[in-house]
Amino acid sequence: MLPIESKKPLTLVFALDQKNKKILLGMKKRGFGMNKFNGFGGKLEPGETVLQAAHRELTEEAMIEAQDMDKIGINFFTFEDDPVGLEVHVYLVTKFNGTPTETEEMRPEWFDYNNIPFEQMWTDDAQWLPYALDEKHFVGEFHFAKDQKTILAQKLDIVSSAPVEFDLNQRTL
């Protein structure tokens, strides 16, 4: 493994209908993660906080505005031959304004908690997303092969609260 020289903060937001036990996922229509279901999120704009980016990305990609947003976890992803790690801040939303609407980037779709299409998602999602749905805070580390499908090493811990950021000095992979 290459040493990780830096990290890039990203956001990932999942809207939930807790009463009906449903999760809103988006089919990614372009770019990184294309043809996979995922939450809504992405890169920070200059001067933007992680939380501001999470709100903006949810609105841009699903056309809904979060009334609440709770950080549930953080995942740190590394890939073979890439010295930059992806620090993904994971949020849950249970109240929002608007109707989920397809955009140029994402096609939103509701799924029952017991019918999440993990086979059409990132490989790691099946491991940590159930913790998020159970409202358990977590910190995950996943090291992927060049194919971006095969997990070569991983660590996933339940924590009392999601950290503000991933500490590169605490990396175990």
Per-residue pLDDT, 65? 98
> For residue 169, is pLDDT > 70?
yes
Residue 108 forms beta bridges with which residues? 26
Domains of the chain: 6-163 (3.90.79.10)
Amino acid at position 159, single letter: V
What is the average per-residue pLDDT within 58-67? 98
End-to-end CA distance of the chain: 9
| DSSP line for 101-149 | ---SSEEEEEEEGGG--GGGS-TTHHHHHHHHHTT--EEEEEEE-TTSS
Give the separation between CA 38 and CA 14, rounded to whole angstroms: 8
Give the separation between CA 86 and CA 77, rounded to whole angstroms: 5
Q: 168 falls in which pLDDT band (50, 70, 90)?
A: confident
Per-residue pLDDT, 1? 63
> For residue 123, is pLDDT > 70?
yes
Per-residue pLDDT, 172? 84
> For residue 122, is pLDDT > 90?
yes
Query: Could you report the per-residue pLDDT of 104-115, keeping only the tens digit for each?
Result: 999 999 999 999
Instruction: Return the ∠ at Cα 99 (arms to 89 and 138), rounded to 5°.
Output: 20
What percent of the chain has pLDDT above 90? 90
Q: Which candidate, 145, 54, 57, 143, places its Cα nearest to that of 103? A: 57
Q: 3 falls in which pLDDT band (50, 70, 90)?
A: confident
Q: Which candidate, 173, 124, 172, places its Cα nearest to that of 149? A: 124
DSSP state letter for 168: G
Per-residue pLDDT, 2? 67
